Amino acid sequence: MAMILRVGARMLLLVVLGAVAASCSGGDDERDESQLTGEWPMLSANLQRTGYNPDESLLNAENVADLALKWEFPTDGPVAASPVVATIDVPDEGPVRIVVVGSYDGNVYAIRAANGQELWRFAVKPHAGVSYGLIASSAAIAHVDGQDRVYVAGGETMYALDAATGSLLWEFDAGTGCTTCGLRSERNEILSSPAVLPEQDLVLFGMDVNDNVPGKGGFFALSAQDGLMRWYFDLESGATCRPDANDEVTRFDGYHAAADLGLAEDFFATRDGCDFDRTETGCGNVWSPVSVDLDREFIYFTSSNCDTDDDPSTPMPPPPMPLYDEALVVLHFDGTPAWTWRPREVDNDDLAFGAGANLFTTTVEGVERDLVGLSGKDGVYYLLDRDGENEITGEVEPYWERKVVEGGSNGGVTGTPAVMGDTVFFGTGISETAKDEVPAWALSLADGSVLWSQADAAPFFGAASATPGLVFMSGVDTTLRIFDAATGEVLASRALGGLGFSQAAIVGGEVFVGSGFGALGAISSDPVAALARVPASVRAFCVVGAAGCSAVAPELLFSPQDNQLDVYNLSTGEMTVLIPSDQYNVNGQVCLLPDGSGNFLMGEDIGQSEGARQGWGIFSRDGTLVGKIFEPVTPGEAEQPEPFGCAFDQQQRLFVTDIGTGSFDSKDGKLIVFFPPDYEESCVLETTLRTAGTIAIDGEGSVYLAETTPPGVVLRFTGPF
pLDDT at 554: 66
pLDDT at 546: 86
pLDDT at 24: 42
Half-sphere exposure of 173 (CA within 13 A, CB side): 19
| Residue 251 DSSP label | B
pLDDT at 26: 38
pLDDT at 295: 98
721/700 Cα distance (integer angstroms):
13
547/129 Cα distance (integer angstroms):
46
- pTM (2 d.p.): 0.80
Q: What residue ranges define each of the domains in the chain, with the CATH number in brackets?
A: 2-13+554-717 (2.120.10.30)
Query: 218-242: string of b/e by CB count within 10 Å (b at 16+)?
Result: bbbbbbbbebebbbbbbbbbbbbbb
CA 336, chain centre distance (Å): 35
pLDDT at 129: 93
Residues 6+ apart with CB under 8 A from 624: none
CB 188 within 8 A of CB 179: no
pLDDT at 719: 85
| Residue 402 DSSP label | E
CB 183 within 8 A of CB 154: no
44/463 Cα distance (integer angstroms):
7
pLDDT at 570: 72
pLDDT at 162: 99
Mean pLDDT by runs of 10 across the 721 residues of the chain is 27 35 41 52 98 97 95 97 98 97 98 97 97 96 97 99 99 97 94 98 98 95 99 98 98 98 98 97 96 99 87 71 96 99 90 96 98 97 99 98 93 97 97 78 98 94 98 96 98 95 97 95 82 94 86 72 84 80 88 90 77 83 90 66 90 92 74 94 91 90 88 89 86
| Residue 345 DSSP label | S
pLDDT at 610: 66
Cα–Cα nearest to 398, from 338, 328, 463: 328
Q: Dihedral, CA atoms, 322, 323, 326, 331, nearest 10 degrees?
A: -130
CB 219 within 8 A of CB 233: yes
Please state whether the peptide bond connecting residue 439 to the residue before it is cis, i.e. omega within 30 degrees of 0: no
Radius of gyration of the chain (CA): 30
614/639 Cα distance (integer angstroms):
9
412/43 Cα distance (integer angstroms):
20
Element (H, E) at 530: helix 527-531
Which 3 state secondary structure label does DSSP give 581?
coil
pLDDT at 16: 35
Cα–Cα nearest to 287, from 213, 342, 205, 381: 205
Cα–Cα nearest to 479, from 466, 467, 490: 490
pLDDT at 13: 37
CB 623 within 8 A of CB 633: no
589/338 Cα distance (integer angstroms):
67
331/371 Cα distance (integer angstroms):
16
pLDDT at 32: 35
CB 646 within 8 A of CB 600: no
CB 659 within 8 A of CB 691: yes
pLDDT at 314: 64
Query: 406-415: string of b/e by CB count within 10 Å (b at 16+)?
Result: bbbbebbbbb
Residues 6+ apart with CB under 8 A from 283: 211, 216, 217, 235, 236, 305, 306, 307, 315, 316, 317, 322, 325
234/240 Cα distance (integer angstroms):
6
pLDDT at 25: 39
Which 3 state secondary structure label does DSSP give 531?
helix
